[in-house]
Structure 1
Amino acid sequence: MNHIATRVPMPYLHPPFRPLPLACLLCMLLLCVNVCRAQVLPQDTTQAQPIQDDSVRQTFNDRVIQNLKQMSERKTIMGKLLKALLDFERNSEEVYGLDAELIRKEYELHNFKVVRNIDILSLDPFGYSVNDTSRLPRNFFEKAGNSLHVKTGRAEVRNKLLFRKMEPLEPLALVESERLLRQTRHILDARIIVNEETTTNDSVDVFVITRDIFSLGGSGSYSPSSGKGRITLRELNFLGQGHQLEGTYKFNLNRPRPWEAAGYYTVDNIGRTYISADLAYVDENYYKEKSLFLRRDFFSLTTKYAGAIGASWIDERILLPATPEDTVARFGNVGYTRQDAWLGRTLKFKTYNLGYEPRGRVILGTRVINTNYTTTPTENFQDNILMLGSVGYSIRKYYKDRFIFGFGRTEDIPVGTLFSITGGYQDGEVWDRRYFGSSLSFARYGTNFGYLYSRVGYGTFIRDDRWEQGVLDLETLYITRLAEWGNWKLRHYLLGRGTLGINRNPEEMLSINNESGIRGFRSDLVRGTRRASFNYEANLYTPLSLLGFRLATFIYADVAWLSVGNQSSPFKEKPYSSYGIGFRLRNEFTSFSTIQVTLGYYPQLPPNSNMRDFRLYESSAPFYDFRNFQFDRPGVAEFY
Structure 2
Amino acid sequence: MIFLKGLLFALLLLVAGSSLPIVALAQNPVIVADSVKSKPLPDTVLKPNTSDRILENLKQLSKKKTFWGRVTKSLLRFDKKATTNYNSPILLNTPTEKHNYKVIRRIDYKTLNSFGYSISDTTRRPRNFLEKAGNSVHIKTHRGRIRNTLLFKTNGILEPLHLSESERLLRQKEYILDARVLVNEKTTTQDSVDIIVITKDVFSLSGSVALNPSQAYGRIGLNDINFLGLGHQFRNLYTFGVDSVINNGNTRRTWMYTGSYTIENIYNTFASAQVLYRNEANYQQRGLNLYRDFYTANTKYAGAASVNYYMHPIYIKNDADTRQRMNIEYMRQDYWLGKAHKLKSYDLGFENRARIITAGRIISTNYLNSPNQDYQNNTLYIAGIGYSFRKYYRSQYLFGFGRTEDIPAGNLFSLSAGYEAGQFYDRRYFGAKMAFGKYRTNFGYLYLDAQYDTYLRGKRWEQGEFASEILYFTKLLSVGTWQWRHFIWNRTSIGLNRKYGENLLSINRQEGIRGFRTPERGTKRVVLNYESSLFTPISFLGFRLALVSFADVAWLSQTDKGNPFKHLPYQGYGFGIRFRNEYMAFNTIQLLLGYYPQGSAPLRNFNSTRPYYDFNDFRFTQPLVPDFR
Deviation at 1:603, TM superposition (A): 0.5
Mapping 1:16-27, distance limit 5 Å: 23-27=6-10
Paired residue for 1:69? 62
Question: Quick check: 1:286 aligned with 2:282?
Answer: yes
Aligned AA (2:272): S
For this pair of structures, how many residues does the alignment match?
603
Report Cα offsets for 1:502-550 as digits up to 9, x if no partner.
10112211221111111122222x2221111111010111122221111
Evaluate the alpha carbon distance shift between residue 627 and residue 500 of structure 1 in structure 2; reply closer, same or farther with a 3 A threshold. Answer: same
Which of 471, 482, 501 lines up with 2:495 in the alignment?
501
Question: Quick check: 1:28 aligned with 2:24?
Answer: no
Question: Quick check: 1:515 aligned with 2:510?
Answer: yes
Evaluate the alpha carbon distance shift between residue 596 and residue 319 of structure 1 in structure 2; reply closer, same or farther with a 3 A threshold. Answer: farther
Conservation of the 8 A alpha-carbon contact between 2:94 and 2:350:
no
Which of 259, 266, 273 lines up with 2:269 in the alignment?
273
Report Cα offsets for 1:363-393 as digits up to 9, x if no partner.
1111111111112345421111011110000
**How many angstroms apart in 1 are the aligned matches of 2:279 and 2:159?**
47
Q: Secondary structure at the match of 2:166?
A: helix
Deviation at 1:432, TM superposition (A): 0.4
Question: Quick check: 1:570 aligned with 2:564?
Answer: yes
Percent identity among equivalent residues? 46
Conservation of the 8 A alpha-carbon contact between 1:39 and 1:91:
no
Q: Secondary structure at the match of 2:61?
A: helix
Mapping 1:164-243, distance limit 5 Å: 164-223=153-212, 226-243=215-232
Deviation at 1:238, TM superposition (A): 1.1
**How many angstroms apart in 2 are the aligned matches of 1:452 and 1:269?**
32
**How many angstroms apart in 2 are the aligned matches of 1:24 and 1:411?**
30
**How many angstroms apart in 1 are the aligned matches of 2:432 and 2:415?**
4
**How many angstroms apart in 2 are the aligned matches of 1:347 and 1:94?**
37
Paired residue for 1:421? 415
Paired residue for 2:349? 355
Evaluate the alpha carbon distance shift between residue 586 and residue 352 of structure 1 in structure 2; reply closer, same or farther with a 3 A threshold. Answer: same
Report Cα offsets for 1:382-434 as digits up to 9, x if no partner.
11101111000000000000000111110000000000001001011011000
**How many angstroms apart in 2 are the aligned matches of 1:169 and 1:52?**
47
Conservation of the 8 A alpha-carbon contact between 2:58 and 2:72:
no
Paired residue for 1:102? 92
Q: Is there any run of 5+ residues in structure 1 with no aligned partner, and where?
A: 1-17, 606-610
Conservation of the 8 A alpha-carbon contact between 1:96 and 1:131:
no
Question: Quick check: 1:462 aligned with 2:456?
Answer: yes
Paired residue for 1:6? none
Aligned AA (2:294): F
Paired residue for 1:38? 25
Paired residue for 2:296? 300
Evaluate the alpha carbon distance shift between residue 202 and residue 67 of structure 1 in structure 2; reply closer, same or farther with a 3 A threshold. Answer: closer
Report Cα offsets for 1:188-240 as digits up to 9, x if no partner.
00001101122122111110000000011133434566453322211111111
Aligned AA (1:308): A
**How many angstroms apart in 1 are the aligned matches of 2:144 and 2:57?**
48
Deviation at 1:308, TM superposition (A): 0.8
**How many angstroms apart in 2 are the aligned matches of 1:58 and 1:627?**
38
Evaluate the alpha carbon distance shift between residue 331 and residue 542 of structure 1 in structure 2; reply closer, same or farther with a 3 A threshold. Answer: farther
Aligned AA (1:139): N
Conservation of the 8 A alpha-carbon contact between 2:174 and 2:225:
yes
Q: Which one has more relative contact order, counting CA pairs under 8 Å at least 6 apart?
A: 1
Evaluate the alpha carbon distance shift between residue 245 and residue 431 of structure 1 in structure 2; reply closer, same or farther with a 3 A threshold. Answer: same
Bigger mean CA offset, 387-396 vs 477-486: 477-486
Report Cα offsets for 1:35-90 as digits up to 9, x if no partner.
55423449xxx999787689xx987x47842563144x34x6x5543332122334
Paired residue for 2:626? 637
Conservation of the 8 A alpha-carbon contact between 1:83 and 1:139:
no
Deviation at 1:317, TM superposition (A): 2.4
Aligned AA (1:532): V
Aligned AA (2:266): I
Deviation at 1:486, TM superposition (A): 2.9
**How many angstroms apart in 1 are the aligned matches of 2:215 and 2:86?**
50
Bigger mean CA offset, 414-423 vs 369-378: 369-378
Paired residue for 2:616? 627
Evaluate the alpha carbon distance shift between residue 247 and residue 21 of structure 1 in structure 2; reply closer, same or farther with a 3 A threshold. Answer: closer
Aligned AA (1:484): S
Aligned AA (2:122): T
Paired residue for 1:536? 530
Aligned AA (1:82): T
**How many angstroms apart in 2 are the aligned matches of 1:467 and 1:350?**
40
TM-score (norm 2): 0.90
Report Cα offsets for 1:550-579 as digits up to 9, x if no partner.
111111111111124444321111211111
Conservation of the 8 A alpha-carbon contact between 2:26 and 2:539:
no
Conservation of the 8 A alpha-carbon contact between 1:39 and 1:92:
no
Which of 375, 396, 400 lines up with 1:402 in the alignment?
396
Deviation at 1:127, TM superposition (A): 1.5
Q: Secondary structure at the match of 1:507?
A: coil
Which of 463, 471, 477 lines up with 1:477 in the alignment?
471
**How many angstroms apart in 1 are the aligned matches of 2:529 and 2:44?**
43
Conservation of the 8 A alpha-carbon contact between 2:89 and 2:441:
yes
Bigger mean CA offset, 159-168 vs 194-203: 194-203
**How many angstroms apart in 1 are the aligned matches of 2:466 and 2:207?**
38
Paired residue for 1:555? 549
Considering only aligned residues, what root-mean-square deviation do their CA atoms show, in Å? 2.6
Paired residue for 2:593? 599
**How many angstroms apart in 1 are the aligned matches of 2:333 and 2:43?**
66
Paired residue for 2:34? none
Aligned AA (2:182): I
Paired residue for 1:155? 144
Conservation of the 8 A alpha-carbon contact between 1:233 and 1:246:
yes
TM-score (norm 1): 0.89
Paired residue for 2:36? none
Q: Secondary structure at the match of 2:254?
A: coil
Aligned AA (1:115): I
Question: Quick check: 1:89 aligned with 2:68?
Answer: no
